[in-house]
Amino acid sequence: MKLIKSIPDPVRRTLVKTSSAICKPIEARLESSGRWENAQKFRKLQHQLIGLTEDQWQYISEYFRCEEVVHLVTQAHERVLNAYNERRRQSPDGLAEMDRYKKQRGDLERSLRKYRDNIRAAEGVMNLLKRKMGHTPLYRAMTSRQRDLDGHLRDWLQGRCAANGGCCARSCGCSEKLRGTTSSRGRFGHCTPLCDCCARYKGYRLEVKAYRSIYPDGLVPREVKKYLHMRLQYEGQFKLNPKETKDTNSALLMDAYVWGLHPGRKEGSDGQAD
């Protein structure tokens, strides 16, 4: 029986704090005994029974929006970096060509700096939003799932990427390697409309529109709030609903990305992480 709607938020917070003292050791024992997937199922059951406060639902929704921005900007950075490296390998001939060469290199370098700054800022917002989730079962599941660097290679996610015309439909192997870089690390993930490999294969690029959206005050510090105002729009975009209410695709994505479970598998079945 799901109790989410019947629990006032103050009671919900108390339930999370009280149940965590009991449930976290059980989760740890399941993980240490090699039953990681069972630990995730247990966290999901707690989440279904207790749920989140209204603020926490807002935080997790915004977290996924920021993650979408990070994935797209990372692949935009990769695309510009490829163009920059190609330009560097060229030898300009004549003064006019040298001027064009310097201008193009300068433009590309500015784009790379802008993308790196946006990635770092959005990742900082994601970390802040994640902390604001508190030690809820959903937070613990996300943290555990994100330690699995190969989690995005599950069959259902690869099939979804391939069906959307991404690199999983080809032998290039882009989804199995780091996509783009920041100053500290790369990022694994599937194709977005800004994937350079997909654009080269198809011979055209999809348009991604970025626009600003008014967002309630009080969520994050003022200095990073502007990045939360960014919204994206592109062909084939899917807007994830973390509540999963009557939304099969959102439920499947939550299983894959948050809970780390195999979409379509019955909750009662046994299994371990790949």
State yes or no: pLDDT of 108 exceeds 50. Answer: yes
Using CA atoms, how far residue 42 sits from 3, 48, 49, 56, 259, in Å, is 16, 10, 11, 20, 10
For residue 274, the model assigns a pLDDT of 37
By the 8 A CB rule, do 44 and 141 touch? Answer: yes
Average pLDDT, the chain: 80
The domain locations on the chain are 52-258
User: What mean pLDDT comes out for the span 225-238?
Assistant: 64
Mean pLDDT for 75-92 is 85
Proportion of the chain above pLDDT 90, given as a percent = 22
Closest CA to 139 of 46, 224, 265: 46
